[in-house]
Each structure stands twice: as C-alpha cells, then as structure tokens.
C-alpha cells in the first residue's frame, strides 16, 4: 500500500513444472551403472551450481559422516568442483545435465540434499520432489517454503552441519520413511504442472 497498490491486488504467480518429464517413472539402474553406483546403498543427490555460496561445505561434512552408508552424486558444475572432489573422494560428479538425463538422475536417486541458504526459490527442489525424492533443506531461503517438514522431507537449521546430517541419516537409514516422504513429495507438486500453473494464473487474473 506504501506504493499505492492495495495489498489484495498483489498475487504471487505460480511456477510451472513439467511433471511428465520429472517423474519417478524415469528411475533407471543404468544411471547407477553408468557412474559406478551399485544399488546396494541409497543414492544421495545434489543438483545445482557447484560453488561455495551454495553452502556446499555442509554437504561435504554430511558426506564425511554418511558416505559409508550411502552413495553421493552431484549434478552440475562450478568453481568449487575441485575442492569438493578432494573432500568427497568417492562421490560421483556428473557435470551439467539437462532434459531427460537430468530427470533420470533425480529419479534414480533416493534422497535429495540442498543446503543452500541463498536461493530465493529452488527449482531443483520441486524437480526432485516431482521425481519422488524426499528433500533436506535449510530453514533460510526459498526452499523452506517448498518442503513440509516431516511430511515431504526435513527443514533443518541453516548452516548447521550436525542438524543437516541428522536429517539425512534418518532418510538413509529408513527405507519406509524415504518411500512415504517421497510419495508425499510427488503428490505435493502434482498441481505445479504447466497446465495447473496456468489455471491458477487465469483464476487470479479474473479475480
């Protein structure tokens, strides 16, 4: 109202998502085989720019604690790759992926970790959810608005490696919890399809 616009006139436009591309049905053992990731352990995934401002030191600490229990894969590229390769020696770094290759990477994983405190939204979070992955995110930044704590994943204290690792461990060690939260995550973003987003936009524009 300070700028002359009534509060009731302000709306948040919904973001769309290709829920057919990003789907649990794209799960593929061939993806794991390609990157030398045996199916004997859960696969933990990060997708995004690999840079320090994404708070990936938290991910590295999580890896140090949980690598014996799970495989880790990182999709993306950036200036922090070499440092993370040093700190996460057995993790797989796929480089940049897009389209079906990216969707397959999500769907072939079991848990999605996103420690960033700087993202204002977090498209990768809803892409992971659409592929049936439970998420662990920070309570600072946009992703916390996308994940329902204890239902579709966990929202942890920002920059707290211990809390982040504890949440990830719960998902790694409990297949039934992963499955339940993953199903909830998929259901939570089902209406974010482009057609669903357009219907919401149209309803707001008529209001």
DSSP state of 17: B
Question: What is residue 24's predicted lDDT score, i.e. its pLDDT?
Answer: 97
Q: What phi, psi does 136 have (nearest 5°)?
A: -120, 120
For the chain, which residues make up each domain, given as ranges? 17-197
CATH class, domain 17-197, is: alpha beta
**Closest residue by Cα to residue 117 from 150, 78, 156, 166:** 156
Weakest mean pLDDT among 136-145, 149-158, 197-206: 197-206
Round the average pLDDT of the chain to a whole number and report it.
90
71-75 and 111-114 strand pairing = unpaired
């Amino acid at each position: 109202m300070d700028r002359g616009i009534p509060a009731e006139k302000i709306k948040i436009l919904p973001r769309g998502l290709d829920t057919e591309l990003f789907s649990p049905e794209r799960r593929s053992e061939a993806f794991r085989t390609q990157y030398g990731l045996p199916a004997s352990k859960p696969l933990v995934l990060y997708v995004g720019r690999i840079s320090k401002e994404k708070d990936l030191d938290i991910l590295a600490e999580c890896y140090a604690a949980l690598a014996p229990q799970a495989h880790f894969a990182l999709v993306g590229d950036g200036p922090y790759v070499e440092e993370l390769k040093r700190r996460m020696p057995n993790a797989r770094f796929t480089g940049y992926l897009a389209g079906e290759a990216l969707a397959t990477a999500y769907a072939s994983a079991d848990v999605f970790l996103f420690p960033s405190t700087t993202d204002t939204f977090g498209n990768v979070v809803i892409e992971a959810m659409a592929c049936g992955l439970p998420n662990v995110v920070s309570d600072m930044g946009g992703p916390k608005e996308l994940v329902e704590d204890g239902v579709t994943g966990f929202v942890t204290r920002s920059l707290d490696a211990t809390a982040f690792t504890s949440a990830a461990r719960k998902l790694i060690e409990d297949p039934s919890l992963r499955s339940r939260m993953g199903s909830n995550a998929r259901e939570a973003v089902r209406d974010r399809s482009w057609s669903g987003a357009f219907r919401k936009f149209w309803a707001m524009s008529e209001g």
